[in-house]
Structure 1
Amino acid sequence: MNLFVIGDVHGCFHTFLKLLERWDPKTEKLIQVGDLVDRGNFSPMALRLAFELQLAFKSQTVFLMGNHESMMIKFLQGLDFSNHWGMNGGNQTLLQFERDNKDPMDYLDWLKNMPLFWENKNVYISHAGLNTNARNPFDPQDKYSLLWNRQPLQNIGKLQIIGHTPQLDGNAKYHEHGNYWNIDTAAAGGMYLTGIKLKRDGALIEIISVPTDMRDLR
Structure 2
Amino acid sequence: MSLFIIGDVHGCFHSYLKLMDHWEPKTETLIQLGDLVDRGNFSPLTVRLAFEIKKVFKNSVHFLRGNHEQMMIKYLLGGDHSDHWLNNGGRQTLEQFSKHKIDPKKYIDWLNAMPLYWENKNVVVSHAGFSGVGSPLDLNNPDGVLWNRKSLVNLGKIQVIGHTPLVDGRPEFQSSSNSWNIDTGAYKGNCLTGIKLNNDGTFLEVISIPTDPKDIDNPSNQASTIKTKKTIQKNFITYK
| Same fold, judged at TM 0.5 (above) | yes
**1:124–1:160 contact (8 Å) kept in structure 2:** yes
Could you tell me how far 1:59 is from its partner in structure 2?
2.0
Q: 2-side partners of 1:206 and 1:14: how far apart?
A: 21
**TM-superposition CA deviations, 1:85-134 (whole Å, max 9, x none):** 0010000000000100110000000000000000000000000000122x
**In the alignment, which residue of structure 1 is the partner of 2:153?**
154
Cα deviation, residue 60, structure 1? 1.4
What secondary structure does 2:5 align onto? strand
SS in 1 for 2:176: coil
Give the Cα–Cα distance (whole angstroms) in 1 for the partners of residues 125 and 79 of structure 2.
28
Counterpart Cα distance in 2 of 1:7 and 1:124: 14
Measured on the aligned residues, the alpha-carbon RMSD in Å equals 0.5
Q: Which amino acid aligns with 2:38?
A: D
Question: Match for 1:147: what amino acid?
Answer: L
2:159 partner SS? strand
Q: SS state of the match for residue 55, structure 1? A: helix
Return 5+ residue gaps in structure 1 as ranges.
none
Q: What corresponds to 2:201 in structure 1?
A: 202
Q: Secondary structure at the match of 2:29?
A: strand
Distance 1:167 1:32 in 2: 17
Q: Secondary structure at the match of 2:205?
A: strand
Distance 2:102 2:40 in 1: 17
| Post-superposition CA distance 1:136-189 (Å, at most 9, x none) | 111111100100001110001010000000012110000000100000000000
Question: How far apart, in 2, do the equivalents of 1:165 and 1:56 lie?
Answer: 30
- In structure 2, the residue matched to 1:172 is 171
Deviation string, structure 1 residues 40-79 (Cα, Å, up to 9, x no partner) = 0000000000000001111210000000000000000011
In the alignment, what sits opposite 1:2?
2
Q: Aligned equivalents of 1:64 and 1:122: distance in 2?
A: 18
2:101 and 2:23 mapped to 1: Cα distance? Answer: 30
| Alpha-carbon distance between aligned partners in 2 of 1:132 and 1:205, rounded to the nearest angstrom | 28
The share of aligned pairs that are identical, in percent, is 58
1:96 and 2:108 aligned: no
> Partners in 2 of 1:149 and 1:4 — Cα distance?
23
Provide TM-score, normalisation by structure 1: 0.99
TM-fit CA distance, 1:7: 0.1
SS at match of 2:154: coil
Distance 1:174 1:116 in 2: 21
Report what 2:127 is aligned to.
Answer: 127
Q: What's the TM-score once normalised by structure 2's chain length?
A: 0.90
Take 1:89 and 1:142, find their aligned partners in 2: how far apart are those partners?
21
Amino acid of the structure 1 residue aligned with 2:91: N
CA deviations 1:1-25 (Å, max 9, x no partner) are 0000000000000000000000000
- Structure 2 equivalent of residue 108 of structure 1: 108
SS in 2 for 1:160: strand
1:17 aligns with 2:17: yes
Aligned to 2:41: 41
Would you say the 8 A contact 1:168–1:191 is kept in 2?
Answer: no
Provide structure 2 residue ranges, at least 5 long, that are not aligned to the other structure. Answer: 218-240
Task: Quote the residue 1:26 is aligned against.
Answer: 26
